[in-house]
Amino acid sequence: MKPLYIAFVWNQHQPYYCDRTKKEYIMPWVRLHAAKDYYRMAALLEDYPRIRQTFNLTPSLLTQLEDYLQGAEDYYLRAAKPVKDLTEGEKHFLLQHYFDIHWERVIALWPRYRQLLDKQGRRREPETAAEALALFTGQDYLDLQVWFNLTWIDPQVRAEDEELSRLQSKGENFTEEDKRLVLAKQREIMTKVIPVHRELAARGQIEIITTPFYHPIMPLIIDSRSALRASPGLALPESYSYPEDAAKQVVMAAAQYRRYFGHNPRGIWPPEQAVSPETLALFSEHGFAWTISDEDILARSLNIEFYRDYSGHVLNGSELYRPYLFGEPGAEIAIIFRDHHLSDRIGFVYHQMNIDHAVDDLISRLHKIRESLASTGEPHLVTLALDGENAWEWYPGDKNKFLSKLYSRLSADEELQTVTVSEFLSAHPPRRRLEKLHTGSWVAHSLTRWIGSAGKNRLWGLLLNARRELDRARGRVPLEQWQKAWENLLIAEGSDYTWWVDSMPYYLAAPFEALFRKHLINVYLECQSPVPPDLYEPVIQPGHGEAAWTEDPLAGPTAMVQGNYGREG
């Protein structure tokens, strides 16, 4: 029997959080996930040379990482100032946001941090955190500043670093110097993120791919009416159709990739795994060899169902576990499809299990797939594709225990072989062609997560108005200024703004919606055009029982609350 080939594809993405007017980052997740995840996810592979993997490093992530290394700050860093200089508003910010990590898996491990959470009242909502202000001393705030930033460094890195390990043992009564040390360690780790990926790629252990620059929903940017293919009758706003923007996002991504890694990328991850025939044609036109989407997209492209037994094993896996070609002869692109069920087990299920049992479960499922395909005599590829950062704080010990055990088992198993995607496609080119491709994403095989509701449609309307103003300004303003306006527009095309609006609690969505409008305001300002008044008015309002923001949400952004809002796309 041939080995079963396995492709892990980790999607490392963060939305573009920069308020370009103020040149400040409203959220800290590039910095914090770099310290906890982006470096360590790659560096862990140095201990397991037989493990091959594929990483998508999105351009918006790399751009922000570069900004931090050149001195950019986020609002969370501003609140890390010396305690004696904190304002009442900044103290409120600390009580609201410096518990933004998993309470049970992380904070509960450290008595002093847990004590501070109890003193804060375990409050999640912004309007209630102020009630704890009178309870906190200056030392409380300082200990909170240190613990938050310390726990956002990977636990294995902390354990192996003598100075960080000492701070963990110390536990309380931290000094301002202790805080400066932690923040300096975060920056040090950030400097290693790109080099460790570059080194692993140079020796063939990983493949690095890219994604359209500011993470737009490509089918909707090319033509928003494409949402009707999966959802006939969906209420849509006026059509948004700018294939030149989609092409620009792809060209910019490839150029950035060449600057970092010295050659053209072979693979491209479509944001939110959202594909359409037009999207893949664009990828092929710009020289990409392969892309990826979800098993539900494949099922609808083939007009079949993937049947699973009571344990979740695919019964017709030969259709799923293989690459396909799509496109006209001479303009084809290979496409692989992830196993949605297995990917979700890593992202959402295994953290609830004993680590040994979780690894046993995944290994046994992979062997079951191999056995079920043995009679075909063909090579098969199981694709596990998901976020590379959001799941891990839910795991005991973060990513390290689970992935170390998994990689050890896979390294010793001759019947299971991990590969990079390009490595597999080079050895086993696609034998089948898709005659049609379903238009949709990883979410319910449609595009309704990003368009079709009142709030989402309103965002598309504001985007369209700004795009038309951009066209009117061409030739009227200096080219360099016009290009700045276009880049602000491209940023606003990112998928994360419409993802949050009408889909998540108001106080989580409000900062994203406010930042979206800020990017569009910048379009008009760069075009030297009057800013429409509606761009100064919030699109969304608080729901029943939710308190309204009494000031610009950008002045006090909310992070992800305790709830696994992990993304795969």
Through-space distance between the first and last CA atoms of the chain, rounded to whole angstroms: 34
Query: Which of 53-57, 211-215, 240-244, 514-518 shows the lowest mean pLDDT across its residues?
Result: 514-518
What H or E segment, with its residue span, contains residue 336? strand 333-338
Listed in sequence order, the residues at least 6 apart from 475 whose beta carbon sits closer than 8 Å to its beta carbon are none
The predicted model gives 436-456 an average pLDDT of 98
Q: Which residues, including other chains, have CB under 8 Å from residue 457's CB and lie 6 or more apart?
A: 235, 236, 237, 451
From the CA atom positions of the chain, what is the Rg in Å?
24
Closest alpha carbon to 66 in 26, 25, 100, 97: 25
Q: How far is CA 243 from the centre of its chain?
A: 24
pLDDT over 70 at 555, yes or no: no
Using pLDDT thresholds of 50, 70 and 90, give the confidence band for residue 384. Answer: very high
- Among 122-136, 263-277, 396-410, 448-462, which stretch is predicted with the lowest mean pLDDT? 122-136
Residues 178 and 423 sit within 8 Å (Cβ to Cβ): no
CA–CA dist 499, 568 (Å, integer) = 12
Helices and strands per DSSP (H, E), number in the chain: 25, 12
Residue 425 is which amino acid?
L
| CA dist., res. 218 & res. 450, Å (int) | 11
Residue 435 has pLDDT above 80, yes or no: yes
The vertex-247 CA angle with 258 and 447, nearest 5°, equals 115
pTM of the predicted structure, to 2 decimals: 0.95
Other beta carbons less than 10 A from residue 134's beta carbon: 6
200 φψ region: left (φ > 0), alpha (ψ -120 to 50), beta (else): alpha
pLDDT at 42 over 80: yes
Strand partners for 56: 11, 209
Rounded to whole angstroms, the Cα distance separating 197 from 202 reads: 9
Q: Note the pLDDT tens digit of each residue in 98-112.
A: 999 999 999 999 999
413: Cβ–Cβ under 8 A, 6 or more apart, which residues?
A: 363
Taking the C-alpha atoms of residue 560 and residue 220, their distance in angstroms, rounded to an integer, is 26
Q: Which residues contact 449 (CB under 8 A, 6 or more apart)?
A: 272, 441, 443, 498, 499, 503
Query: Is the CB of residue 298 less than 8 Å from the CB of residue 432?
Result: no
195-199, 467-471, 560-564: least confidently modelled range: 560-564
What tokens were used for 433?
């062609």
Mean pLDDT of 539-554: 76
**pLDDT tens track for 113-171:** 999 999 999 987 766 777 889 999 999 999 999 999 999 999 999 999 999 999 999 99
Structure tokens at 346: 């890593």
pLDDT at site 125? 72
Lowest mean pLDDT among 120-134, 275-289, 363-377, 518-532: 120-134
Over residues 416-429, the mean pLDDT reads: 98
SS3 289: coil
Phi, psi torsion values for 375, nearest 5 degrees: -70, -15
pLDDT (0 to 100) of residue 378: 93
Tokens standing for 5? 């080939």
Alpha helices in 3-74 (DSSP H): 29-33, 39-43, 59-69
Is pLDDT of 433 > 80?
A: yes
CA-nearest of 168, 79, 51 to 403 is 51
562: left (phi over 0), alpha (psi -120 to 50) or beta: beta
Q: Is 569 helix (H, G, I), strand (E, B) or coil?
A: coil
Residue ranges in 210-334 assigned as alpha helix (H): 218-222, 243-261, 277-285, 295-302, 317-320
Q: Mapping DSSP to helix (H, G, I), strand (E, B) and coil, where does residue 442 land? A: coil
Say what the pLDDT of residue 55 is.
98
- CA gap 498, 388 in Å, rounded: 22
Residue 493's contacts (CB-CB under 8 Å, 6 or more residues apart) are: 214, 216, 221, 245, 249, 463
* CATH number belonging to domain 4-65+193-220+242-433: 3.20.110.20
Q: Which amino acid is at 357?
A: H
Integer Cα distance of 542 and 545 in angstroms: 8
Q: What is the mean pLDDT of the chain?
A: 94
Per-residue pLDDT of 209-265, as tens digits, reads: 999 999 999 999 999 999 999 999 999 999 999 999 999 999 999 999 999 999 999
Q: Is it the case that residue 565 has pLDDT exceeding 50?
A: no
CA atoms of 54 and 412, how far apart (whole Å)? 20
**pLDDT, position 561:** 31
Whether 315 has a pLDDT exceeding 90, the answer reads yes
The answer to whether 509 and 498 have CB atoms below 8 angstroms apart is no
pLDDT at 381: 98
Give the least confident one: 105-109, 138-142, 419-423, 508-512.
Answer: 508-512
Check: CB of residue 302 under 8 Å from CB of residue 434. yes
In the DSSP assignment, the letter for residue 347 is: I
Place of tokens 């692993």: 200
- For 139-181, the DSSP string reads HHHHHHHHHHHHHTS-HHHHHH-HHHHHHHHH-SS--HHHHHH
> How confident is the model at residue 557, as a pLDDT?
43
Confidence of residue 558 (pLDDT cuts 50, 70, 90): very low
CA atoms lying within 13 Å on the CB side of residue 444: 8
Whether pLDDT at 59 is above 90 = yes
Determine the pLDDT at residue 562. 31
Q: How far is CA 528 from CA 473, 477, 541, in A?
A: 8, 7, 30
Q: How confident is residue 566, by pLDDT bands cut at 50, 70 and 90? A: very low
